[in-house]
Chain A
Amino acid sequence: MNAVEGRRLYKTYGELVAVDHIDFDVRERECFGFLGPNGAGKTTTMKMIYGLAGVDEGELRVLGLDARKERRKVKSRLGVVPQEANLDWDLTVRENLVQQALYYGAQADGRIDELLALAQLGQRSASKPRELSGGMQRRLLIARALINQPELIVLDEPTTGLDPQARLAVWDLLDGLKDGGVTLILTTHYMEEAERICDRLAIMDQGKIVAYGSPGELRDRYGQPNLEGVFIEITGRGLRE
């Protein structure tokens, strides 16, 4: 069974077509990437998967469930790292995790310290999120997404704004989760990141998927040394903007 199946997915905001009839499968236990320039429709696609954007047309199955009809069930089994840091700024770092566990009804007494350590925030557990650096906030977002031991984690630009060391730490973390049987879907603007951690990926442009496959397949198919070259070959433009 696939972890996510999108069929002819379509979504508009008023006049603007954000996602234009895309088809994709995310296999269980793989790391699947969405790439594409700003405004390509990556975040919108992710939001449809985790229930924060309605699906106008098409079919979306997540973990075997109809994402439109069984939203509560779907969401209880997902972890979400959003593009914007939407932490609870009125609570401390630790309380953010405690409260998140409550939203899921998850027993998390022992896990909180474990997750704080994982995010390297053990020393900052009494701080308010505003007192953390941008990179620390991202790490807290990732830790928060693990609180319910999700089967599928959706990460929207998880490494944007991280220093090279912190990025490596996130990659290791994601590798570890994948080895533990978790399915990962992420978006990124970093080609080397996609080539390093994604098993397969979809390159989006103007709401459409313009290339789809493993990094190796795509390079071979278009005769390019890297994914940037693949995108230029298809669209005549660079991937960043």
Chain B
Amino acid sequence: MTLAFPSLRMAFRVWRRDLRVFSSLWKGALLPTFLDPVLYLLAMGFGLGAYIASINGIPYKDFIASGLVASAAMWATAFETTYNVHFRMTEYRLYDNVLSTPVEVEDLVLGEMAWACTRAVIYGTVFLIIVALFGLIHSPWAVVTPVFIVIGAACFAAIGLSFTTIVGKVDYFTYYYTLFVTPMFLFSGIFYPLDRLPQWTHVVAWFTPLYHLVLITRGLILGPHLLSVLGNTLWLVVVTAGLFSVPVIWMRKRLVP
């Protein structure tokens, strides 16, 4: 099997289709997704925050708000690259048609990744604006956060697409959430720093993308820690590039047997 570089022009056409659908849906069905991180911010930041004044000198609500920006991007990408992609691929047979046009599997994967990133940026940025309105932003570097949300989302998307194309059965998708997304959400340093946990938890966390994206968003929002931002970005880029061929190979196996 030969691996080819995707065509940006073809990937754009796949991305454009998803945007077409989203434009007609977002006002209705997709609105609640915007509210999710806000609920966490209110419940934990302002609720729990009344008891925990600060973490390492940072007010508690400011601490978790900067982390929730990263998880907003993760959740948006997770749903998009598991359930949505599965339905397009297996139930609607949408990709059978797409692949009968000049679009190839690698273009399709890149286009769907780009769309997942777009959703992550939309949801992440809307939440970032809400965080700003609450006055929880400490550094002007926060304005470049969306760029890094794209990079983190690309990594989440590559993992989600790998899972979806390898597993193939919607019945097993809950494992992705129970064993991967939810633990990452809880243990990646969004709600508390990992400092006082045993050393091995740091090692495990280091291998998850959310941990790195949280360090990036927190680094940008709470005060520029630019070296840390660059290091964590490098991690995300390397993992994304390394994983890209996995969904390409598996999708081809399924759709072009």
Contact = CB atoms under 8 A, between A and B. Distances in A.
Interface in A1-52: 13, 50-52
B257 A75 contact: no
Contacts of A82: 96-97, 100
Given A75-B100, A103-B13, A13 B92 contact: no
Given A51-B100, A75-B101, A103-B98, A84 B256 contact: no
A91 B102 contact: no
Contact of B101 (A84, A90, A95, A103): A103
Given A90-B21, A91-B21, A105 B9 contact: yes
Interface residues of B, number: 21
Interface residues of A, number: 28
A52 B100 contact: yes
B109 to A, nearest CB: 15
A127 to B, nearest CB: 14
A80 B98 CA distance: 11
Contacts of A50: 100
A86 interface: yes
B94 A88 contact: yes
Contacts of B9: 105
Given A51-B99, A86-B96, A102 B16 contact: yes
Contacts of A148: 101
Given A13-B257, A53-B256, A54-B257, A75 B94 contact: no
A100 B94 contact: no
A80 B93 CA distance: 14
B93 to A, nearest CB: 4
Contact of B96 (A52, A78, A100, A103): A52
A103 B103 contact: yes
